Amino acid sequence: MRGRVPQTVPTITPLVRAYDHLLLDLDGCLWVGGTPTRDAPLALQTLREAGKRVAFVTNDTRSSAEEYVRKLWSLGFRASLEEVVTVGGALQHHLSERHGMRRASAYVVGTPAIVRHVSDAGLRVVNGMAEAPHAEVVVAAGHDRLVFEELKVATQALLAGADFIAAGRDRTFPMPDGMWPGTGALVAALEYASGRRATTVGKPEPEIFATALDRLGAGRALVVGDRLDVDLAGAHAAGLDGAIVLSGATSRAEAETAGADGGPRPVAIAADLAELVLGEAPPLAPLPPAAPPQPPDLPPAGYGRAAG
């Protein structure tokens, strides 16, 4: 085969080789908006070929686990429903344990996916009803179509004594045109208006990482994300190592000074997931393009949603 350029299968870095599992963030780590970060599909494929198990752990409230599986496949990432751990699933589990049995009324600020999680937890969603300002629980999760009426009704319910549950405290999340306000911005507004403090269930709370580890099994795990206050802090709370990629919300200066105040320090800082997993050197020759991946058949809507 004279003249043929040999193909090289990438190998993983020594740092990543030391772990059995990787818990990967989505926004800012695997993609920004609808575009994968540089060589992220190749990095994930290489992890799988190296025998590493992965979970996708996200605070993004805009989609269900099933929808994330479809997006992952559409962008070239192989993924199963069991590997996706969403904050919506964590919300559903939390609400089911504390309020589901008594069919508590809930006012929900969030996407249709979050409303389904609240309903599937056994709560009565009272959005649009006369009793909404007197709901027993307010659930807050950022979404793109937030209107003042939602803030007003949620504030009224909180002032009347409703329990306050939030998906997380992410200040922002990266999009192609810059940073967008995240769930944390919504939560801050409601906390300021009501004088109440929300209970959060997503990252950096450790429970969502525990859910992922339950699915992955025994082994050493590395959390990879783009936020110090969410991904790195959550890894620390769960007793795990954390690495920061600079393809999302954190600058190199911020990452390099992390821990100066006594907080956690990342075990690694990389430009993106590809650099963390593959190192800086690209393969000698790209592997031939494969046919576009086809997503697997997914279970009916609602299946397994309590687990995320």
The three state secondary structure string of 186-213 is HHHHHHHHHCCCCEECCCCCCHHHHHHH
Q: 99 with 118: CB under 8 angstroms?
A: no
Task: Count CB atoms within 10 A of the CB of residue 299.
Answer: 11
Contacts of 250 (CB under 8 A, 6+ apart): 226, 227, 228, 244
Residue type for position 229 = D
Say how far apart CA 228 and CA 125 lie, in whole Å.
Answer: 34
Tokens of 132: 């909404």
Q: 231 with 223: CB under 8 angstroms?
A: yes
25 is catalytic: yes
Q: Say what the alpha-carbon torsion angle 4, 5, 6, 7 is, to the nearest 10 degrees.
A: -120
Indicate if the alpha-carbon torsion angle 14, 18, 24, 25 is positive or negative: negative
- Candidates 20, 25, 144, 177; catalytic one: 25
27 is catalytic: yes
Say how far apart CA 60 and CA 68 lie, in whole Å.
Answer: 10
Q: 52 with 16: CB under 8 angstroms?
A: yes
- Candidates 27, 60, 226, 241; catalytic one: 27
Q: Which residues are catalytic?
A: 25, 27
